């Protein structure tokens, strides 16, 4: 469901379109296992949280920004679905206890609103890192160097491993892009490292197979 929802989120302009989005998804997923409570939960999650914060219109300035924009959109859709499932679960549990279903749903939506703020922060950090990569590519060309912070324990093994290697911004490495490997990733792109190895990517695998 994440793919069609991502498509709808791309075109949805306002919170008013939440009902239309849910209607479109209902048509597409005529699945009995998805209960009426799920659609109600999704309506709330979309109208009160996700569509209240439309994606930042930063403009796509290069290949890294384009990749991150697609990633962020997919993450939005995944959040909307997971949050709807959690809200539905809270309502189902309230119903089985004999408590107010609406109240339980509202409380669950409030919790999701706080989670979504963390998602927004992460999406913003990814967009910012991608913009910096595209600016480096504008100066140095598509081949760039990967740099990780050295000398402290916060750098993850995969980021340390990528340090000193190179990558093509147009053929993103399997581990992602510098600055977006994980939440709090502090890696950055620079001019390519002379003699640096290429990080594994779809492109390097194709070249090896040829
Ligand atoms: Zn990193």
Distance 188 CA to ligand 1 centre (A): 8
Distance 9 CA to ligand 1 centre (A): 29
Predicted pLDDT of residue 95: 92
Distance 63 CA to ligand 1 centre (A): 19
Distance 173 CA to ligand 1 centre (A): 13
Distance 22 CA to ligand 1 centre (A): 37
Predicted pLDDT of residue 138: 95
Distance 147 CA to ligand 1 centre (A): 8
Distance 94 CA to ligand 1 centre (A): 42
Mean pLDDT over all residues of the chain? 88
Predicted pLDDT of residue 167: 97
Distance 86 CA to ligand 1 centre (A): 31
Distance 76 CA to ligand 1 centre (A): 22
Distance 185 CA to ligand 1 centre (A): 4
Q: Is 28's pLDDT higher than 80?
A: no
- Which own/partner pairs from 108-112 qualify as long-range (CB within 8 Å, at least 24 positions apart)? 108/41, 109/44, 109/45, 109/48, 109/49, 111/86, 112/45, 112/49, 112/83, 112/86, 112/87
Distance 101 CA to ligand 1 centre (A): 43
Residues 96-150 pLDDT 10s:
999 999 999 999 999 999 999 999 998 899 999 999 999 999 999 999 999 999 9
Residues 85-104 pLDDT 10s:
999 999 999 999 999 999 99
Distance 126 CA to ligand 1 centre (A): 12
Predicted pLDDT of residue 12: 58
Query: What integer is the mean pLDDT of 185-210?
Result: 92
Distance 134 CA to ligand 1 centre (A): 17
Distance 17 CA to ligand 1 centre (A): 37
More confident residue, 44 or 52: 44
């Amino acid at each position: 469901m994440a793919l069609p929802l991502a498509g709808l989120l791309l075109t949805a302009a306002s919170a008013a379109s939440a009902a239309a989005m849910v209607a479109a998804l209902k048509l597409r997923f005529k699945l009995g296992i998805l209960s009426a409570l799920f659609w109600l939960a999704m309506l709330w999650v979309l109208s009160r949280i996700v569509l209240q914060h439309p994606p930042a219109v930063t403009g796509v300035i290069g290949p890294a920004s384009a990749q991150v924009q697609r990633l962020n959109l997919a993450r939005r859709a995944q959040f909307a679905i997971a949050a709807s499932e959690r809200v539905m679960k809270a309502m189902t549990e309230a119903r089985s206890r004999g408590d107010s279903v609406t109240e339980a749903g509202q409380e669950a939506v409030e919790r999701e609103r706080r989670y979504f703020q963390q998602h927004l922060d992460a999406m913003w950090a990814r967009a910012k890192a991608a913009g910096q990569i595209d600016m480096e590519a504008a100066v140095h060309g598509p081949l760039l160097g990967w740099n990780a912070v050295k000398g402290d324990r916060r750098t993850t093994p995969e980021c340390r491993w990528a340090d000193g290697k190179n990558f093509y911004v147009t053929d993103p490495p399997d581990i992602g892009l510098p600055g977006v490997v994980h939440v709090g990733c502090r890696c950055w792109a620079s001019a390519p490292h002379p003699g640096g190895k290429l990080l594994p990517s779809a492109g390097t695998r194709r070249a090896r197979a040829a």
